[in-house]
Structure 1
Amino acid sequence: MSLSTGIFAALTVASDESRPYRLALVGLVPVLWLSALAMAHGYERRYLGVGPEEYRAVFRSSVVLVGLVALVSYALHWDVPRDVLAVVAVLLGGLGLWGRAVLRRDLYRRRARGAETQATVVIGNARTVHSMIREINRAPEQGMRVVAACVSGLDGPRDAPSDVDGIPVFGYPEEAMSAVDLFDADVVAVSSDPDLDGAELRRLAWSLEEREVDLVVSPGLLGVAGPRLSIRPTAGMPLLHVERPVMSGGRRVVKVAFDRILTGGLALLALPLMLVVAFVIRMDSPGPVLFRQKRVGAEGRVFDMVKFRTMCVDAEARLTALRAETGLAPDAGNDVLFKMKSDPRVTRVGRFLRRFSIDELPQLINVARGEMSLVGPRPPLEREVEAYEPDAVRRLRVKPGLTGLWQVSGRSDLSWDESLRLDLWYVDNWCLVLDLQILMRTARAVLRGAGAY
């Protein structure tokens, strides 16, 4: 039975006394869908445009609604064809996710222009307020706009004018409510500060409740996303419970299956392009088509990463001389990652391949062999791992990726600290929805060609 035939049969079967009920059910689907989204927190402002929770709400809503329709049809003996349920699941889930992605991009554009943002007053100690303001300003698309700070621990007289990262300091934390009223704030953000105890925070929350102002509190755990955080009430105290990052068991099986299935489809689509690229490389410069290099994978295992060759054959021999020049080159890489704009070792074809990341397509072979994942940290060289500090070694807990947060956040334009921060965040907060987000953002990053050289 085709999909169209199934839909038609569900609504127009002759002499079926349940037809009015089916028509009523179809009419109720939009209402039920919106209700399911609301119950899954799909319309809460705190999730709109922030993290993967918004997409999880859409997925959960589609599953729950389809399950509910199946349960009701079984209980009332309505013969709803399975084809119809399949179509409903695809439309609700697929189009819902696509629609949210489109709306999120538009929201990010408006927030980048200063619209649809929430005026935010930051409270806390001078040391912690500085890092909070920096992180908020780093991500304007998240919708928070710092307008003032109430800070303790500043040097100098109490009445002296001051600012933190360009944000005016209104006063001390006890003057926060005056700042909220003066700047018409929508959010008060409290940084990790030992001087702000539970009683003071409770009184602050009561005052903000009367003004319908949101309160957010930083737990002081940089790099831990919401799904790993929950409140555990113990002996009358709300304790913040931090779940251990999980990349084993069932979740590992899901990621491996996701990688293998999607890699097979991508390899079939990319095969004609890869054959053309191989021919062009052979015509452009002498040497092999593929370039193999030792990289370090999960748990420190070394493997041969495969790429299209984009440099001359003696590129490695010329590396030492180029590294000596990096101290004079303002666009060169750093002590850990060596990246250099206008690298003389790159061939003419290689520049084009690198700009659009076509040279990385053969890494699908590494993904198929289980040495890499489609999404993960950047695969490091052995000499890079030898220079790692203890924190950086954590990147090796998961398989390196063909793409990752580093790919969609600036690529080679990122500093080592920024690349490390993104990789560690991914390791600590991996989920399948995050992988899907990164893959969608990768397509846009590759087409723009920004940060690739």
Structure 2
Amino acid sequence: MIQSASLSAFPTASEAWRRRAFFRRGLRAGDIAIILLVVACVERLCHVTGREHVGSGVMPALVMRALLITAVAVTWGLLLTKADVYRDRVLGHGATEYKRVVWATVLEFAGFSILGYMVGVRLPTAYLVSALAISIVALLAWHWAARRRLIRLAAAGSLAQPAYVVGSAGAVASAIDELTRQPGLGLQIRGAFVSDAAALDGRPGLPVPVIGEVGSLQETVESSEGIAVVVAEDSGLTSAMIRRLSQSLGAEGRLIMLPPLLQIASSRLWMRSDRGLSAIEIQQPRVDVAHSPLKRSSDIFASLLIIVLLVPVWLIVPPLIWMQDRGPILFRQTRIGLNGKPFKIWKFRSMRINADAELAGLLREQNRTGSPLFKVDNDPRITRVGAFLRRTSIDELPQLFNVLAGSMSLVGPRPQVAKEVELYDEEAARRLLAKPGITGLWQVSGRSSLTWEEAIRLDLFYVDNWTPGMDLWILLRTVKAVLLLDGSA
């Protein structure tokens, strides 16, 4: 949860908008600089406008070069603008922004190639492909760096757009919690309008001031400029009220709807509109995550590759564990896998011998016997070598052999013990429809800092919305977390 803050600590809506506009201009200037550099280099290498093609004078050749570079740069910039990469709804949104940058770049090169063919200019394929690759890498690197900067500035509040959340007290609290995990949205939650103010009595207050009930929202919107309104569940707003809000927000404002579809990936949502009727169709999952041949073959190939690449680790770690206390190298424990089937999970041992026998006593000492996550804070059972193995996630490496055996996957829900699975309700039990993974959404979205409910929600999102691209994204985030030693579980 975010903490309440004095409104004077926030930039005004107009200030935040001007800062974001300045940021967009800087991003656009960087794009233009990269485009000009790439086009100039390609033109020089390919000799597209050499004297032999243009004329006998130096000036005509120079003029032709300038016109060519300008034309390509302008059309490229227009394509990026047309792709909305500078709009608030795309800027800073990661994959969406990157896809649009790639689309605009590929389209520019395709058009440039077709135009060259039509006018009789033969572009060397090697140069063209190299220029395309360099352009994509350079632009993506620039937008990635800009996104990181944008997120930092938004988190600090300097680029954040003032926002108000509307809905029932419970829905507003959940929405604020979700929105604060998404700094890329560029929102600074300043207050809430609730549809059930009476529900606040006798319960902890919201993390932001309650401005009023939903009925007073329109007045606030009409007296403000450049704000965002986030509509959560049970807001009580009719379609007519939402249309009026949208009109009142103006060009600088944003209206964001958070329907009860947060656990469904956008790739499964289809907007349909016909004769004034707008509807959202939810597509069924296209691939069974537990029985995907692509996922299984990828697991086998990647596991074998990692095992071979990490041969030095297999040679160094076992002696270190054994010298610590002359105990076993590996730790084996029963976990619950696909469809509730038990299996033995393997890890490098990171705790002292007979650590399981001490668990119940430690949980009682910390008054955590009723906790669904059977974990001990500042666990004294972890050895010095084990602490290093856990911090670097090396202790998880033997699970690669679980992956080869088919009881686990590289990516999936976290494998849990039987006592934890016994606490599942019918909804949570759907985690068992996928093989447990060495890493997953749980780990890369906060790792061990997440609550039980949040971890279950992320695992269910993975089971319901799995795609190969999601696995790749999780693996890349895992590599980053391990290299930065960022919150290993």
What TM-score results when the alignment is normalised by the length of structure 1? Answer: 0.80
2:359 pairs, out of 309, 319, 322, with 322
Residues 149 and 347 of structure 1: is their aligned pair in 2 closer, same or farther, counting only changes over 3 Å?
closer
SS of equivalent to 1:312? coil
After TM superposition, give the deviation of residue 22 of structure 1 in Å: 10
Distance 1:207 1:121 in 2: 14
After TM superposition, give the deviation of residue 163 of structure 1 in Å: 10
Residues 127 and 310 of structure 1: is their aligned pair in 2 closer, same or farther, counting only changes over 3 Å?
closer
Higher deviation after alignment, 356-365 or 26-35: 26-35
Distance 1:88 1:261 in 2: 32
Higher deviation after alignment, 20-29 or 404-413: 20-29
Map of 2:30 onto structure 1? none
1:230 pairs, out of 270, 286, 301, with 270
1:405 and 2:445 are equivalent in the alignment: no
Map of 2:320 onto structure 1? 280
Map of 2:396 onto structure 1? 360
Map of 1:422 onto structure 2? 458
SS of equivalent to 1:155? helix
Q: Is the contact between residue 163 and residue 169 of structure 1 (CA under 8 Å) also seen in structure 2?
A: no
1:441 and 2:477 are equivalent in the alignment: yes
Q: Is the contact between residue 336 and residue 387 of structure 1 (CA under 8 Å) also seen in structure 2?
A: yes
Map of 1:3 onto structure 2? none
Map of 2:232 onto structure 1? 191
Map of 2:206 onto structure 1? 165
Map of 1:135 onto structure 2? 178
Q: Which runs of 5+ in 2 are unaligned?
A: 1-41, 56-60
After TM superposition, give the deviation of residue 431 of structure 1 in Å: 4.1
Distance 2:415 2:369 in 1: 16
Distance 1:374 1:217 in 2: 34
After TM superposition, give the deviation of residue 120 of structure 1 in Å: 0.9
1:108 and 2:151 are equivalent in the alignment: yes
Map of 2:142 onto structure 1? 99
1:385 and 2:421 are equivalent in the alignment: yes
Distance 2:116 2:369 in 1: 62
Map of 2:283 onto structure 1? 243
Q: Partner amino acid for 1:337? A: L
2:218 pairs, out of 173, 177, 192, with 177
After TM superposition, give the deviation of residue 137 of structure 1 in Å: 3.6
Map of 1:11 onto structure 2? 46
SS of equivalent to 2:345? strand
After TM superposition, give the deviation of residue 349 of structure 1 in Å: 0.9
Distance 1:310 1:82 in 2: 55
Q: Partner amino acid for 2:234? A: D
1:345 pairs, out of 365, 381, 384, with 381
Residues 403 and 362 of structure 1: is their aligned pair in 2 closer, same or farther, counting only changes over 3 Å?
same
After TM superposition, give the deviation of residue 86 of structure 1 in Å: 3.9
1:217 pairs, out of 245, 257, 264, with 257
Q: Partner amino acid for 1:242? A: I
After TM superposition, give the deviation of residue 89 of structure 1 in Å: 4.2
After TM superposition, give the deviation of residue 350 of structure 1 in Å: 0.9
Deviations 1:415-435 (A, max 9, x none): 211211222233334444544
Q: Partner amino acid for 2:345? A: M
Distance 2:133 2:272 in 1: 37
Q: Partner amino acid for 2:88? A: R
Map of 2:131 onto structure 1? 88
1:206 pairs, out of 238, 247, 265, with 247
After TM superposition, give the deviation of residue 39 of structure 1 in Å: 3.5
Q: Is the contact between residue 151 and residue 184 of structure 2 (CA under 8 Å) also seen in structure 1?
A: yes
Distance 2:227 2:336 in 1: 47
Distance 2:371 2:182 in 1: 27
Map of 1:58 onto structure 2? 101
Q: Is the contact between residue 299 and residue 396 of structure 1 (CA under 8 Å) also seen in structure 2?
A: yes
After TM superposition, give the deviation of residue 171 of structure 1 in Å: 3.0
Residues 171 and 284 of structure 1: is their aligned pair in 2 closer, same or farther, counting only changes over 3 Å?
closer
After TM superposition, give the deviation of residue 306 of structure 1 in Å: 2.9
Deviations 1:345-378 (A, max 9, x none): 3322111100111111233334445543333321
Map of 1:305 onto structure 2? 345
Q: Is the contact between residue 337 and residue 436 of structure 2 (CA under 8 Å) also seen in structure 1?
A: yes
Higher deviation after alignment, 410-419 or 59-68: 59-68
Distance 1:40 1:229 in 2: 21
Residues 310 and 394 of structure 1: is their aligned pair in 2 closer, same or farther, counting only changes over 3 Å?
same
Q: Is the contact between residue 339 and residue 412 of structure 1 (CA under 8 Å) also seen in structure 2?
A: no
Q: Is the contact between residue 120 and residue 185 of structure 1 (CA under 8 Å) also seen in structure 2?
A: no
Q: Which runs of 5+ in 1 are unaligned?
A: 1-6
Distance 1:341 1:393 in 2: 26
Q: Is the contact between residue 195 and residue 234 of structure 2 (CA under 8 Å) also seen in structure 1?
A: no
SS of equivalent to 1:281? helix
1:373 and 2:409 are equivalent in the alignment: yes
After TM superposition, give the deviation of residue 11 of structure 1 in Å: 0.9
Residues 174 and 307 of structure 1: is their aligned pair in 2 closer, same or farther, counting only changes over 3 Å?
same
Residues 148 and 312 of structure 1: is their aligned pair in 2 closer, same or farther, counting only changes over 3 Å?
closer
Q: Is the contact between residue 121 and residue 179 of structure 1 (CA under 8 Å) also seen in structure 2?
A: no
Higher deviation after alignment, 200-209 or 66-75: 66-75
Q: Partner amino acid for 1:135? A: E
SS of equivalent to 1:327? helix
Higher deviation after alignment, 198-207 or 252-261: 252-261
After TM superposition, give the deviation of residue 186 of structure 1 in Å: 1.6
- What percentage of aligned pairs have identical amino acids? 38
What TM-score results when the alignment is normalised by the length of structure 2? Answer: 0.75
Q: How many residues align?
A: 438
Distance 1:94 1:435 in 2: 22
Q: Partner amino acid for 1:409? A: S
Give the alignment's Cα RMSD to 1 decimal.
3.9
1:117 pairs, out of 157, 160, 175, with 160
Q: Is the contact between residue 362 and residue 376 of structure 2 (CA under 8 Å) also seen in structure 1?
A: no
After TM superposition, give the deviation of residue 254 of structure 1 in Å: 5.2
Deviations 1:279-310 (A, max 9, x none): 32233232443334343344445444332222
